[in-house]
Amino acid sequence: MEVEALKKVEQLALKKQKVYQSSWLRYIARSALASMFIGFGVIVAFKTGSFFYAVHSPFTYPMAALTFGAAIILISYGGGDLFTGNTFYYSYTALRRKMRWLTVVKLWVLSYLGNILGAVAFAALIFTTGLFAEESVNAFLLSVVDKKMNLPSMELFFRAILCNWLVCLAFFIPMSMKNDGAKMFAMMLFVFCFFISGYEHSIANMCTFAIALVLNHPGTISMQGVFHNLVPVTLGNLIGGAILMAYMYHYVNKPYYEEQEGAEHE
């Protein structure tokens, strides 16, 4: 069963809480680090995809999705604190009464702010490199951003629910695995599924938007478009992690915990 992995979820959430308790600045710095790692994934995905996009290849999205998996490996093994994963970890731990809900909300807000700071800082670094200065390279990225900023809010919301459900599973399922190679393969497979399906991830989007805004972009890409996308996507990600992951796993495993706690009292 997934019970052992759920215990690791609790331990991870409490470890993150300790980082915050020791220094809220350090906690924000870890969150900034996570979105920078996603930034690396965004760059390699759109850089790879641009070669296929330039020749109108049907492999544009599959190749971008395949290479974006580098981001989840960096976060999982390199550290960092991602808002989307925290919607699952903290909610589950609070449902288990190991963490207060007020603390959960506070940590969500701080991790989200840290993710924003990391996305902005990474975009500034990319701008100085000139890697996306040429139209032949940035056309794919700008076309994707343009589309994301102009989709209906309701579609964005439900795509975001499905996205974070899948992304949280990408972190959760490998917790039951022993071999690092198997863990990395599973993570990259799940991330490939989320990317190729066209789902919406708030932190990946904010990294992509930040990069697009520092480039020479069309008028259809704007700060208004950023808010139009990120508000419903963030809410959808929150529901995907807190309800479909945390609440559902807590609900289906509740009889096991009650039986275990009853045995301990005998």
72-87 per-position pLDDT tens digit: 899 988 888 999 999 9
Contact between residue 124 and residue 39 where contact means Cβ atoms under 8 Å apart: no
Residue 15 lies in a domain: yes
- List, in order, residues 6 or more apart from 151 with CB less than 8 Å away: 229
3 state SS of 215 = coil
CATH number at residue 205: 1.20.1080.10
Burial of 156: CB neighbours in 10 Å, binned 0-12, 13-18, 19+ = buried
Confidence (pTM):
0.92
pLDDT band at 103 (very low <50, low <70, confident <90, very high): very high
**Residue 259 lies inside a defined structural domain of this protein:** no
- Say if residue 261's pLDDT is above 70: no
Question: For residue 17, is it within any domain?
Answer: yes
pLDDT of residue 263: 55
Structural domain contains residue 186:
yes
Residue 134 DSSP class:
S
The chain-wide mean pLDDT, for the chain, equals 92
> What residues make up the domain containing 180?
3-254
